[in-house]
Amino acid sequence: MWIYLVVFNFVFALPVAIAFRSWISSASGFSLALTRSIGKFDFTFLTDLLRNYPGFSLISGQALIFALGYLIFSAFLSGGILNCYVHHRESFSLKEFLYGSARYFWRILLMEFLFLVVQLIVLFVFWRIIDAKGVNPKEMISDLHFLHFLWVAVPGYLCVALVIAMFQIYGKIHLVSDGQTSVIRAIRKGIRFATRHFGSVILLFLVNAFLFGVLLIIYGMVKGAIPSGSAGGIMLTFVFAQVFLLGRILIRLLTVSSANELMRIFASAAVPANNVEV
């Protein structure tokens, strides 16, 4: 399943990469500024492209379409992943993966959309709080003041967003494991389980988040050490980026499978022992 997911993600990302490459090539032409920007973020070069080449607005519009497509694509894959972990624990079968993807697609897509709306509402609320506080970097005494405020606001938002994402994972598992036809009922059961066993659930979630953080740190350190000014360095960076993609997918699978295992353990512990026959 791990390998299939890598292939599916590569196929989905290919049109996006081709579209962006086409725009950047037509906009920059043979400019040496593009070569000097390899391996670093050149803000001046980027803003110059945005001001002088309005084709970026077209790319932005396409990005919204691709984002919607990724939401649909992610919902399709989630059904297959959950079907394999919940109902076919012994071995992987592409047939069962695709069957689960098709069977649970619409319900998982609806759940993804509902949680996306909730996340946007939370983001809007935090934005309104920041706006009400009059936080404007242009009107502050220094940028440091603005950064200090972000150090408080951003972690607060991330904590709320991660808890919502945690509820979403257990809602999906309930939807597949119980064969729920009601998305709202599956969400309620997922939230009930997560809140009832909040200590274990949040600890497991933090462990998986820690592993993802370690992966990001390793990726940043290795990428920074690779010389990007040569063809060999560019190729090495590309190969290591694919390794990073493998790691991201692995942690996604680990997050889903460990959450499903935690639910199974608590469900087994809740079943009363059978009477002993004499």
pTM tops 0.95: no
Whole-angstrom distance, CA of residue 26 vs CA of residue 58: 13
In a domain, 22, yes or no: yes
Residues 140-194: pLDDT tens digits? 555 555 566 667 677 888 888 889 999 999 999 999 988 767 899 999 999 999 9
Number of domains in the chain: 1
In a domain, 61, yes or no: yes
Whole-angstrom distance, CA of residue 226 vs CA of residue 234: 9
Identify the domain containing residue 4 by its residue range.
Answer: 1-103
In a domain, 234, yes or no: no
Short-list 73, 81, 105, CA closest to 1: 81
In a domain, 9, yes or no: yes
The Cα-based distances of 262 to 61, 110, 188 in angstroms read 41, 25, 18
In a domain, 43, yes or no: yes
Residues 244-272: pLDDT tens digits? 888 889 999 999 999 999 998 988 887 65
Q: Burial code of 54-76, b = ≥16 C-beta within 10 A, e = fewer? A: eebeebeeeeeebeeeeeeeebb
State residue 277's pLDDT score.
Answer: 42
Residues 164-175: pLDDT tens digits? 999 999 999 999
Mean pLDDT for the chain overall:
79
In a domain, 34, yes or no: yes
Q: Which residues contact 59 (CB under 8 A, 6 or more apart)?
A: 19, 20, 23
Residues 8-28: pLDDT tens digits? 888 888 877 777 677 666 655
Average pLDDT over residues 107-127: 90
Residues 74-96: pLDDT tens digits? 899 999 999 999 887 677 888 88
Short-list 106, 81, 110, CA closest to 96: 81
In a domain, 205, yes or no: no
In a domain, 115, yes or no: no
- Cβ atoms of 258 and 204 within 8 Å: the answer is yes
For the chain, what percent of residues have pLDDT higher than 90?
31
